[in-house]
Structure 1
Amino acid sequence: MRFSTQTLLLQLGVVLLVVLLSGAVHAWLVYVRIGNEAENQALTLARTVAADPDIRADVQAISKEEGTPPPDVLAAGPLQAAAEAARVRTGALFVVITDETGLRLAHPETARLGEHVSTDPSVALGGQEITTRNTGTLGPSAGAKVPVYSPGDSGTIVGEVSVGYSVESLGKSLARDIIPIALTAGGALLAGVLASFLLRHRLQRLTLGLEPEEISTLVHDQVAVLQGVDDGVIGIAADGRISVFNAAASRLLDLPDATGQDWATANVPEQLKQLTQPAARDAEAVEIVAGGRVLVTSARKAWHRNEDLGWVVMLRDRTELQQLTRQLDAVGTMSTALRAQRHEFANQLHTIAGFMSIGQHDSAKEYLARLSATGPLKFPVEQAELLQDTYLQAFVGAKGVEASERGVALRIGPETLVRGHVADPQDVTTVLGNLIDNAVNAAVAGSATDRWVEVELLDDPDGDDGALHLVVADSGDGLGSLEPEEVFAEGFTTSEQPARGGAGQGLGLALVRQLARRRGGDVRVLDAGSDGGPGAVFMASIPGVMGQQPESPARTDAPSQEDGSG
Structure 2
Amino acid sequence: MSQTHKRRGKNPHFHPTTFLNFKMKMILLVGTLIIAIITVIGLYIGHFISVAMEAQVGDRALSVAESVARIPELSEAFRHDDPASIISPLVAPIQKATKAEFIVVGNTEEIRYAHPDVNKIGKKMVGEDNERALVFGESYISKATGSLGSSVRAKVPVYLDGKIVGVVSVGFLVNDIQSLIASYNNQLWLVLVSIAIVAVIGAILIASYIKKVLFGLEPEEIAHLYVQKEAILQSTHEGIIAVNQNGIITMINFAAQHLLFNKVISPKQYEGMSINDLASAQQLLPFLQDEHERIDQEMMIGKTTVFANKAPIYYDDSLVGTVFTFRNKTEIDLLTKELKSIKQYTNALRAQTHEFSNKLYTILGLLQLNKKEEAIHYIQRESTLQKSWIRLLIQKVADPQVSGLLLGKINQASELGIEITIQEDSRLATELSEKQREALLTAIGNLMDNAMDAVNKNPRTDRKIAISFTDIGNDIIFEIDDAGEGVPDPYVKSIFEQGFTLKEGEHGGFGLALTKQLVEGVDGELYLEEGDLGGASFVLSMPKKGRESDA
The verdict on how the C-alpha distance between 1:314 and 1:391 changes in structure 2, with shifts beyond 3 A counting, is: closer
Q: SS state of the match for residue 487, structure 1? A: coil
Q: Does 1:428 align with 2:417?
A: no
Q: Does 1:161 align with 2:168?
A: yes
Shift of 1:23: 1.7
Deviates more, 1:225-234 or 1:162-171: 225-234
The verdict on how the C-alpha distance between 1:58 and 1:403 changes in structure 2, with shifts beyond 3 A counting, is: farther
TM-score (norm 1): 0.55
Deviates more, 1:87-96 or 1:98-107: 87-96
Q: Does 1:121 align with 2:129?
A: yes
Cα deviation digits, residues 9-41 of structure 1 (max 9, x gap): 343233223212212212221221232233233
Q: Which amino acid is the alignment partner of residue 23 of structure 1?
A: G
Residue number among 501, 505, 511 corresponding to 2:509 in the alignment: 501
Residue number among 103, 106, 109 corresponding to 2:111 in the alignment: 103
Q: 5 Å matches for 1:450-529? A: 475-476=486-487, 487=498, 497=505, 500-502=508-510, 509=513, 513=517, 519=521
Residue number among 5, 19, 37 corresponding to 1:18 in the alignment: 37
Cα deviation digits, residues 123-155 of structure 1 (max 9, x gap): 3334244422345455554332233344334xx
Aligned residues of 1:428 and 1:545 also touching (Cα < 8 A): no
Aligned residues of 2:84 and 2:113 also touching (Cα < 8 A): yes
The verdict on how the C-alpha distance between 1:58 and 1:497 changes in structure 2, with shifts beyond 3 A counting, is: same
Q: Which amino acid is the alignment partner of residue 50 of structure 1?
A: A
Q: SS state of the match for residue 147, structure 1? A: strand
TM-score (norm 2): 0.56
Q: SS state of the match for residue 422, structure 1? A: coil
Cα deviation digits, residues 224-270 of structure 1 (max 9, x gap): 9969999889898999998896x8999999985998979x96999x9
Shift of 1:55: 3.5
Q: 5 Å matches for 1:336-347? A: none
The answer to which structure has the higher helix fraction is 2
- Using the aligned pairs only, state the percent identity: 18
Cα deviation digits, residues 373-406 of structure 1 (max 9, x gap): xx9559999xxx9999887677567557656866
Cα deviation digits, residues 471-494 of structure 1 (max 9, x gap): 9999356997x9889726xxx999
Cα deviation digits, residues 197-223 of structure 1 (max 9, x gap): 3134414652x5455676777788x49
The verdict on how the C-alpha distance between 1:116 and 1:452 changes in structure 2, with shifts beyond 3 A counting, is: farther
Shift of 1:194: 0.8
Paired with 1:186 and 1:494, the residues of 2 have a C-alpha distance of 87
Aligned residues of 1:100 and 1:159 also touching (Cα < 8 A): yes
The aligned counterpart of 2:142 is 132
Q: SS state of the match for residue 154, structure 2? A: strand
Paired with 1:516 and 1:132, the residues of 2 have a C-alpha distance of 108
Aligned residues of 1:102 and 1:121 also touching (Cα < 8 A): no
The verdict on how the C-alpha distance between 1:236 and 1:412 changes in structure 2, with shifts beyond 3 A counting, is: farther
The verdict on how the C-alpha distance between 1:75 and 1:58 changes in structure 2, with shifts beyond 3 A counting, is: closer
The aligned counterpart of 1:550 is none
Q: Which ranges of structure 2 fall in alignment gaps of 5 or more residues?
A: 1-19, 363-372, 375-380
The aligned counterpart of 1:43 is 62
Aligned residues of 2:348 and 2:408 also touching (Cα < 8 A): yes
Paired with 2:56 and 2:458, the residues of 1 have a C-alpha distance of 113
The verdict on how the C-alpha distance between 1:199 and 1:535 changes in structure 2, with shifts beyond 3 A counting, is: farther
Aligned residues of 1:134 and 1:142 also touching (Cα < 8 A): yes
The verdict on how the C-alpha distance between 1:37 and 1:323 changes in structure 2, with shifts beyond 3 A counting, is: same
Q: 5 Å matches for 1:273-422? A: 325=339, 328-329=342-343, 331=345, 395=405, 399=409, 402=412, 420-422=430-432
Q: Which amino acid is the alignment partner of residue 33 of structure 1?
A: A
Q: SS state of the match for residue 510, structure 2? A: coil
The verdict on how the C-alpha distance between 1:421 and 1:51 changes in structure 2, with shifts beyond 3 A counting, is: same
The aligned counterpart of 1:112 is 120
Q: 5 Å matches for 1:162-241? A: 162-165=169-172, 167=174, 168=176, 172=180, 175=183, 183=191, 186-187=194-195, 189-203=197-211, 205-206=213-214, 208-209=215-216, 222=228
Aligned residues of 1:470 and 1:539 also touching (Cα < 8 A): yes
Paired with 1:133 and 1:332, the residues of 2 have a C-alpha distance of 113
Q: Which amino acid is the alignment partner of residue 126 of structure 2?
A: S
The aligned counterpart of 1:554 is none
The aligned counterpart of 2:365 is none
Aligned residues of 2:306 and 2:327 also touching (Cα < 8 A): no
Shift of 1:96: 2.2
Q: SS state of the match for residue 156, structure 2? A: strand
Aligned residues of 2:103 and 2:168 also touching (Cα < 8 A): yes
Aligned residues of 1:430 and 1:512 also touching (Cα < 8 A): no
Shift of 1:49: 3.6
Paired with 2:266 and 2:325, the residues of 1 have a C-alpha distance of 14
Q: Which amino acid is the alignment partner of residue 163 of structure 1?
A: V
The verdict on how the C-alpha distance between 1:100 and 1:487 changes in structure 2, with shifts beyond 3 A counting, is: same
Q: CA RMSD in A?
A: 7.2
Aligned residues of 1:471 and 1:538 also touching (Cα < 8 A): yes
The verdict on how the C-alpha distance between 1:25 and 1:399 changes in structure 2, with shifts beyond 3 A counting, is: same
Aligned residues of 2:300 and 2:306 also touching (Cα < 8 A): yes
The verdict on how the C-alpha distance between 1:252 and 1:45 changes in structure 2, with shifts beyond 3 A counting, is: same
Cα deviation digits, residues 480-533 of structure 1 (max 9, x gap): 7x9889726xxx999973683335xxxx956974x678x586999x89x9xxx9
The verdict on how the C-alpha distance between 1:487 and 1:327 changes in structure 2, with shifts beyond 3 A counting, is: closer
Shift of 1:422: 2.4
Paired with 1:86 and 1:485, the residues of 2 have a C-alpha distance of 120
Paired with 1:536 and 1:141, the residues of 2 have a C-alpha distance of 124
Q: Which amino acid is the alignment partner of residue 422 of structure 1?
A: L
Paired with 1:30 and 1:473, the residues of 2 have a C-alpha distance of 110
